[in-house]
């Protein structure tokens, strides 16, 4: 390469520019001509034979493990099967409630204040299945007692129904997820084993599924609530019975989106019509 000659001031400025760009270290003694052609293949020296591998060092004996607490059981397919077996043995709603309160296989129980089983009238024509308890429900031990529950009461009152006479209310989860987070699939699967048996034992004329999580879990579908809302489906239970089921918006969603109350009113009218067709009103 042609040697360049720079004035001292220009050379100093060039060095400062190199430093500013992060070039503060020389890699080789001579500059590399990037425009030169690579040497022919024949002139490339053969690779040297690999050196012999050094002998393995003497292994270091691992330190003794620190004492640990007993591991906390996590959700697993076996826990789902355990929940199904426990649920199958219940022959009444009261026995199922006792089984749910005694069940220790769901991690949510360890962070919740209360087990939220159900409210309303066992054997009522309408069974409402929501998603999970909130803060108010966890504190009081009953489903749908917060602001969204109060809205639901007013909605059914508009068609002449109440939880003291016509409604039986529960959730697919019996324990509040921390921070009201979306329950995991494992948590849903464990609790759903009890929920399906709950519907079998309560024997409602129809089931109202409130909210997307409840709809997907109970109907075993990936369709969203906006697609399924207001469309009657047939819920097939493990004992062979079939129950009409209506997906609808969760009252908490209606509080955030008041414009959707009109669609929920249509759902209420559809519920009233279905009950008359079934001879339950």
Mean pLDDT of all residues in 53-64: 52
Give the pLDDT confidence score for residue 14 in this predicted structure.
73
203 within domain boundaries: yes
Q: How large a percentage of the chain has pLDDT more than 70? A: 77
What CA–CA distance (Å, rounded) separates 150 from 182? 22
Q: What domain range includes position 95?
A: 77-276
Q: Distance between CA 69 and CA 15 in Å, rounded? A: 61
- CATH code of the domain covering residue 194: 3.40.470.10
- Provide the whole-model pTM: 0.72
In a domain, 31, yes or no: no
Tell me the average pLDDT across 210-217.
95
What confidence score (pLDDT) does residue 22 get?
Answer: 57
Instruction: With respect to residue 65, please indicate whether it lies within any of the assigned structural domains.
Output: no
Mean pLDDT score, 14-24:
65
Under the banding of pLDDT at 50, 70 and 90, the label for residue 66 is very low
CA dist., res. 221 & res. 125, Å (int): 25
Is 36 among the domain residues? no
Whether 166 is in a domain gets the answer yes
For residue 87, is it within any domain?
A: yes
Task: Give Cα separations from 160 to 124, 268, 271 (angstroms).
Answer: 14, 10, 12
Q: pLDDT band at 218, cuts 50/70/90?
A: very high
Q: Which segment of 33-42, 141-150, 255-264 scores lowest on mean pLDDT?
A: 33-42
In a domain, 220, yes or no: yes
Task: Tell me whether residue 260 is in a domain.
Answer: yes
């Amino acid at each position: 390469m042609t040697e360049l000659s720079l004035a001292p001031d220009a050379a100093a400025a060039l060095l400062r520019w190199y430093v500013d760009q992060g070039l503060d270290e020389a890699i080789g003694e001579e500059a590399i001509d990037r425009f030169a052609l690579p040497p022919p293949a024949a002139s490339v020296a053969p690779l040297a034979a690999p050196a012999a591998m050094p002998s393995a060092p003497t292994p270091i004996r691992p330190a003794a493990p620190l004492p640990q607490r007993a591991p906390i059981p996590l959700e697993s397919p076996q826990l789902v099967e355990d929940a199904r077996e426990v649920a199958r043995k219940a022959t009444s709603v009261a026995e199922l409630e006792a089984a749910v309160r005694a069940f220790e296989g769901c991690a949510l129980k360890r962070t919740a204040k209360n087990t939220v089983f159900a409210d309303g009238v066992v054997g009522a024509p309408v069974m409402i299945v929501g998603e999970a308890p909130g803060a108010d429900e966890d504190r009081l031990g009953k489903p749908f007692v917060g602001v969204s529950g109060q809205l639901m009461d007013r909605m059914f009152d508009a068609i002449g129904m109440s939880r003291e006479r016509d409604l039986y209310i529960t959730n697919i989860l019996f324990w509040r997820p921390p921070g009201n987070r979306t329950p995991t699939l494992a948590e849903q699967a464990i609790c759903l084993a009890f929920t399906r048996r709950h519907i079998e034992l309560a024997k409602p004329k129809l089931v109202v599924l409130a909210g997307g999580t409840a709809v997907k879990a109970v109907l075993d579908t990936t369709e969203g609530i906006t697609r399924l809302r207001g469309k009657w489906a047939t819920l097939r239970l493990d004992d062979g019975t079939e129950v009409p089921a209506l997906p609808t918006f969760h009252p908490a969603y209606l509080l955030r989106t008041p414009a959707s109350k009109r669609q929920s009113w249509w759902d209420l009218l559809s519920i009233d019509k279905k009950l008359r067709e079934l001879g339950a009103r």
